[in-house]
Amino acid sequence: MRPQRILAVVAITAALVAGCSGRSGETTEESGGGDGGGSSSSVSSSFGDLKDVCQDGSAKGATSQGVTDDGIQIGTFSDVGFTKNAEFENAAKVFTSWCNDNGGINGRKITSNLRDSKLLAVRQQMSAACKQDFALVGGGAALDGLGTKERLNCLLPNFPAQTSQAAELGSDLMVQAAPAQKLGYMPYYQFREWLLKDAYPQSAGSVGIILGDSPVAKVLGDMQVESVEAAGGTFVYNDKYPAAGVSDWTPYAQSIKNKGVKGLIFYGSFDQLAKLENVLSGMNYKLDWIDPNNNAYGEPFLKLLGSAAGTQNNLVDLSGILPLESTEPVMAQLKELYAKYAPDATLTAPSVRAFSSWLLFAKSAASCGDNLTRSCLLDAATKESAWTGGGLQAAQNLAPGAAPSPCFNVEQATPSGWEAADFDPDQGPYRCNIPVKKTVGDFGSGMTLSDVGKSASDVK
């Protein structure tokens, strides 16, 4: 993508990530390097159903870049310099502080190096990570594909909280712990089938989609069109809006009303959607459902909606992540860790995804003992066939090439907050009985080691 085209997508890309980001607009203070900022702790080293995640020990040896007798250097990517959103930085602080208070990884303390990609500095930050970090954990960048070639060249493993572009999304040496879109499979297909066949069958023949006008959003839109049509939906409205935003949404609202749209998919900044919904509500036009995408899952969107939160029906698919409103003990435990180690930070859905990545890294690294190498780390992580992050998510098979989980869960926006929708869960808080479906269109491919002249045998 040329620089001028990148600039054209800046207004929406930071909030629009194809890995189901769930961004909530958090703007907390910077969280530092995660070097054990909490006081000596009596907090349990277990998390959910994971026992002794971190532990004392006497591991020795400089077994890999970033690993010494007493420490492990980890990189955490974030666009915080652009978005002012510190959720990945805060998740790193919480996890590493807690882990280090419990002894680290076999006695090796973890330091998280913030790699602030500032939207357009992915390649530069990846080059820095390649010179210092053992692995990348718990982060993400909207234009992450810009650094994939450099990452594979230096054989750097990635345990991201989220991925965005196809080059990184399907790349080698990448293990995504939390539920995520996988290349070759229709995103949100189970959610679409529930919407169109179970919950609102009357909307199936009158679906609309509107997205910010950019190359990134176009790909996302094309994927959603394929997924909706495969679930039995028919589009009567397909439109774009300027990526920089719209001052008056009345013409768009009028078109939606004139076309008789009953179900609307929106890709872009949720503040723009809130304006559109308020115009629709002012026209006394209520849709059966609106999918604001899970970027909107959080309090900021509800505040922007105002009275429209009670007029329009906003539904988001969390794709198998435990909702923040959950009363499960594991969510309460996570909130306690945030209260202890980052009391001014806001827990968000991406924070949950990041924490799952950190947990996977810690369990995998601990299993390597003294011999903490990248190959051992990756081998351990990819053997997890039912990873739940201690109970923070639906089970995921992390083996390379494994199909994504069919599990999904739906949250509904209401004037009193986010609540679980009536989507007929059949496995705890999730519904898992609608099979995944492979894509038909070509939406790109991930970068491989062979693309950079390397192979798995080069990973030490």
Query: Please, which pLDDT band fits residue 36 given cuts at 50, 70 and 90?
Result: very low
Instruction: Write the CA distances from 309 to 125, 168, 280, integer angstroms.
Output: 40, 35, 12
Question: What is the arithmetic mean of pLDDT over 11-21?
Answer: 44
**pLDDT value, residue 14:** 44
Closest to 412 in 3D by CA, of 194, 165, 212, 142: 194
Q: Phi first, then psi: what are they for 318, rounded to 5°?
A: -85, 0
pLDDT in tens, 362-414: 999 999 999 999 999 999 999 999 999 999 999 999 999 999 999 999 999 99
- Nearest residue to 320 (alpha-carbon basis) of 190, 141, 196, 439: 190
Q: How far apart are CA 213 and CA 333, in angstroms?
A: 41
Mean pLDDT of the region 66-95: 97
Q: Which amino acid, one-letter code, is at 328?
A: E
Q: Give residue 216's pLDDT.
A: 74
DSSP percent split of the chain into helix, strand, coil, nearest 5:
35, 15, 50
Phi and psi at 122, nearest 5°, equal -60, -50
What's residue 79's pLDDT?
Answer: 97
Distant-in-sequence contacts of 442-445, Cβ < 8 A, 24+ apart: 443/166, 443/183, 443/219, 443/222, 443/223, 444/165, 444/166, 444/167, 444/169, 444/170, 444/183, 444/219, 445/166, 445/170, 445/183
Q: DSSP letter at 195? A: I
Give the pLDDT confidence score for residue 11 in this predicted structure.
45
Cβ atoms of 285 and 253 within 8 Å: the answer is yes
pLDDT band at 27 (very low <50, low <70, confident <90, very high): very low
Cβ atoms of 50 and 102 within 8 Å: the answer is: no
pLDDT score, position 215: 77
pLDDT at 18: 37
Across residues 47-54, what is the average pLDDT?
Answer: 97
- When pLDDT is cut at 50, 70 and 90, the band that residue 71 belongs to is very high
The predicted-structure confidence for 72-84, as pLDDT tens digits, reads as follows 999 999 999 999 9
Query: To the nearest whole number, what is the mean pLDDT of the chain?
Result: 91
Which of 24-33, 107-116, 335-344, 373-382 bottoms out in mean pLDDT, i.e. has the lowest?
24-33
CA distance readout (Å), 77 to 30, 136, 301, 391: 13, 7, 25, 25
Tokens standing for 394? 């639906």
Task: Give residue 42's pLDDT.
Answer: 59
61: left (phi over 0), alpha (psi -120 to 50) or beta: left
Q: How many CA atoms lie within 13 A of 111 on its CB side?
A: 12
Task: Give the Cβ contact number of residue 288 at 10 Å.
Answer: 20
Q: What's the pTM? A: 0.92
What pLDDT, on a 0 to 100 scale, did the predictor assign at position 443? 86
pLDDT tens, residue by residue, 262-319: 999 999 899 999 999 999 999 999 999 999 998 899 999 999 999 999 999 999 999 9
**Residue 442 structure tokens:** 């070509």
Strand-pair partners of 264? 208, 290
Determine which of 197-206, 279-288, 359-368, 440-449 has the lowest per-residue pLDDT on average. Answer: 440-449
Beta bridge partners of 411: 316, 420
Q: State both tokens at 437.
A: 């479906």
Domains and CATH numbers, the chain: 19-183+325-393+445-458 (3.40.50.2300), 189-322+405-420 (3.40.50.2300)
What is the average per-residue pLDDT within 118-124? Answer: 97
- Say what percent of the chain tops pLDDT 70: 91
Write down the H helix ranges in 58-120.
80-83, 87-101
Q: Are 21 and 295 in contact (CB under 8 A)?
A: yes
Read off the pLDDT band of 244 (50, 70, 90): confident
Is the pLDDT reported for residue 415 higher than 50?
yes
Q: Is the pLDDT of residue 31 over 90?
A: no
Of 386, 410, 391, nearest in space to 329 by CA: 391
**Helix/strand/coil for 404:** coil
pLDDT over 70 (residue 155): yes
